[in-house]
Amino acid sequence: MSGGIGSADMDMDMDMDMSASLGGVLVSANVEVRPIGVSPALATVPDQNGVMEDWFHGNKWPPADFYPQWTNAQPTSFPDRYWDAQLYAITILAEFVQVKDGSGQPAWPQFAADLDALLPKTQALIDAELRELVELIEYRPGVIAEALAQLTYPWRWFRGILMCNSSSAPATFRLLQAASYIGQFQVMYYKRYFNRARPSQFSPALLPPIDVPGHASFPSGHATETMLIALMLEKVMPAAACTPAAGFAPDNPPPPYPGVSPLQQMAQRIARNREVLGLHYPSDSKAGRLLAQKTADILMQCPSINDPASGLLALASKEWWP
């Protein structure tokens, strides 16, 4: 991967180290490393019966002496619990892109017209959104710490609604990672399709307090991902996290987004914070929520998500319902 340390990098590091230790003679990185001063011929020698006998005891057990003490295991597969959640999400993406619409075409790229209906078409509508974002600047001091924490790890905020983490609810965490990864895939496709300029390109007065992300504005990625996460979690978590409040105490203000669950309240709060930072228009967030709803319908057709016995919804539900 770009920027990582690959085998070539490691080999070069090893070569340079060896070069220095062997008087500047460059040797292959594949040579066997042995204790300095011990001849390879003396490390192990055969006894009178031809059995290799160890002649060196020190910092390293010679392979010929160590290996016979172990027997090979007989694994049948890679353990499911050791699958990295993000990499597992990629396998679900393979199912996601194969889901077909009613005409037999891939379903996932069929929402351009629905999203386009939410895109402001006149300068007057764009100016109205920009004025709203300028008015939000004064709220930045109150949300900046929260907004920065939500840049890359929304799970931290969702798990605060109910006490859980990746250890106590591994299937739920895997479900969230799948929703997040597939949400990113969807939103980047449509961002490139619409290629909408960022608000700060129109209005330098917005002065976003963080670097503007290196991709187009519409739809909002945070709105898409977090709403998709909320919709998936609503299918497995208890009613208290999934049901809109029926009423409010007289001394409590109503929620900012009436009529939606606490999970969706959290998703919309995260998306709104992006608007406060001057990174997204309100219409970006609205489009992200719509894209999440469309994407959730496709995800429900993926066996790894919705299989009654082995799907992530069934496994995650068991972590919340005895």
User: Hey, what's the torsion of the CAs at 30, 32, 37, 40, to 10 degrees?
Assistant: -130
Q: Please give the pLDDT value at position 254.
A: 66
Set out the domains of the chain in order of their start, with CATH numbers: 7-69 (no CATH), 85-318 (1.20.144.10)
The overall pTM is greater than 0.85: no
Is residue 54 classed as helix, strand or coil in its secondary structure? Answer: strand
Q: Please give the pLDDT value at position 39.
A: 52
What parts of the chain have a pLDDT lower than 50?
Answer: 1-27, 36, 57-59
Instruction: Report how far apart, in Å, the C-alpha atoms of 231 and of each of 19, 123, 178, 227, 261 are.
Output: 57, 34, 12, 6, 10
For residue 105, the number of C-alpha atoms closer than 13 Å in the C-beta half-sphere is: 5
Q: Which one, of 314, 305, 316, lies nearest residue 93 by Cα?
A: 305
Q: Please give the pLDDT value at position 277.
A: 96
Sign, CA dihedral 221-225-231-237, equals: negative
Q: Please give the pLDDT value at position 258.
A: 72
Q: Please give the pLDDT value at position 24.
A: 46
Q: Please give the pLDDT value at position 157.
A: 78
Place of tokens 């290629």: 195
Q: Please give the pLDDT value at position 40.
A: 52
Place of tokens 């010679």: 62
Residues 6+ apart with CB under 8 A from 176: 155, 158, 229, 232, 233
**H or E element: which one contains 244?**
none
For 92-138, what is each residue's pLDDT tens digit?
999 999 999 999 999 999 999 999 999 999 999 999 999 999 999 99
Q: Please give the pLDDT value at position 243.
A: 84
Q: Please give the pLDDT value at position 153.
A: 74
For 211-229, what is each residue's pLDDT tens digit?
999 999 999 999 999 999 9
